[in-house]
Amino acid sequence: VGKPYPPVEYGEYLKLDRLLTSQLPKSVEHGRPAHDETLFIIVHQVYELWFKQIVHELDSVLEMFRQDSVDERNIGVAVTRLGRVTEIQKLLIDQLRVLETMTPLDFLDFRDLLLPASGFQSVQFRLIETKLGLKQRVALEKLPSPGRAPAEQEDALRRAASEPSLFELVDKWLERTPFLELPEYHFWASYRAAVDDMLAADRRTIEANPTLSEAERLVQLQEHERTAASFEALLDEPTHDRLMREGSRRLSHRATLAALLIHLYRDQPILHLPFRFLTLLVDVDELLSTWRYRHALMVHRMIGTKIGTGGSAGHHYLMGTVERNKIFTDLFNLSTFLIPRSALPQLPPEVERRLGYHFPRD
Ligand code: HEM
């Protein structure tokens, strides 16, 4: 019995010779060393490493959802992996604080030496957005000219843009949920009655609110009308499809209803993991928006309202991406249609039985 594997050395295994010799400040190269440029490089490199890990996790989740029928056991694995992604995202947001120990003046010592490099050109960041399902965002022309970015990274981005994203796969997965095929079950009629009651109560509250001026009351009533109209769209497939064509809905009608049922009846054991999975998608999206916002704030304090090294309007451009670049907006919007547990239509016993964990009796 000899040693089955050759011994492994810490530094060799981690390729530290390459990793730790990859910080080459431009300010040093140009003979005017700026102390903080090392921090600037290392912070960006650490980001890219974490981006790589996020891509690795997303790829495994995408693989599970690419199957014609998603193995139920995989939902638990997807929940674990997306949970890991969200923990990394929290680090990524916090990490900006380290970079903010560099003052704007210190940044000016080397900023001009970096033109036209920019976070715009982070292929891995685009890869994450694309794999999650952000549309019209590949913007390959913003990437470094051919030969500058690793070719395999660019290829990966093109491939990701041509393959179904997590958004699209989740859409299909929700559409396949068997929960919608309930025999003899008039769920939607009872649900509609419960929501109508809720909306009527909201309306009465607005009408009777003594603190509102007439003008404010009018605004609130109009807002209420919009909520009622979007509820109509939820239950009416042609209206929903029209909103999809207009771009204000992205999840299909069937998938939206399935997601809503999962939210409403998440206390049923079998729906619990799908519920956690959908919640994590919202978490990932929210943390990405938080990062965008946080990065935009940092950019504001670092460069004020100057344009970016990548040529954008800088802070203003970045603030715009916070709202514009949400992916799972339809899942966020579902909360509009949630009703209290007490008002929820009772599931027929047969359905309830099918949704529980139960052991067949001999
Ligand atoms: C002093 C620090 C930083 C400044 C002043 C800064 C500035 C900017 C600016 C102005 C843009 C808009 C594009 C442009 O015109 O260049 C941008 C985009 C971007 N930055 Fe930064 N950045 C900083 C640090 C970072 C760090 C640490 C990361 C981490 C990877 C990062 C990642 C990105 C990404 C991914 C974009 C593209 C965002 C999008 O288009 O939605 N930035 N940055």
pLDDT tens for each residue of 235-274: 889 999 999 999 999 999 999 999 999 999 999 888 999 9
Q: Tell how far the Cα of 219 is from the centroid of ligand 1, in angstroms.
A: 38
Q: Tell how far the Cα of 23 is from the centroid of ligand 1, in angstroms.
A: 19
pLDDT of residue 146: 47
pTM over 0.85: yes
Task: Decide if 148 contacts 340 (C-beta within 8 A).
Answer: no
pLDDT-based confidence at residue 193 (cuts at 50, 70, 90): confident
pLDDT tens for each residue of 226-239: 989 888 888 889 99
Task: Decide if 284 contacts 82 (C-beta within 8 A).
Answer: yes
Q: What is the mean pLDDT of residues 147-176?
A: 88
pLDDT of residue 65: 95
Q: Is the CB–ligand 1 distance for residue 120 below 6 Å?
A: yes
Give yes or no for residue 191 having a pLDDT over 90: no
For ligand 1, pick from 108, 120, 134, 322 the residue to mutate: most ligand atoms within 8 Å of CB.
120
Q: Tell how far the Cα of 56 is from the centroid of ligand 1, in angstroms.
A: 22
Give yes or no for residue 103 having a pLDDT over 70: yes
Q: Tell how far the Cα of 119 is from the centroid of ligand 1, in angstroms.
A: 4
Give yes or no for residue 140 having a pLDDT over 90: no
pLDDT tens for each residue of 288-326: 999 999 999 999 999 999 999 888 889 999 999 998 999
- In order, the DSSP letters of 50-64 are HHHHHHHHHHHHHHH
- What is the position in ligand 1's atom list of the atom closest to the CA of 299? 5
CB atoms within 10 A of CB 85: 23
Task: Decide if 111 contacts 309 (C-beta within 8 A).
Answer: yes
- What is the position in ligand 1's atom list of the atom closest to the CA of 118? 16
Q: Which residue's alpha carbon is at the smallest distance from atom 31 of ligand 1?
A: 119
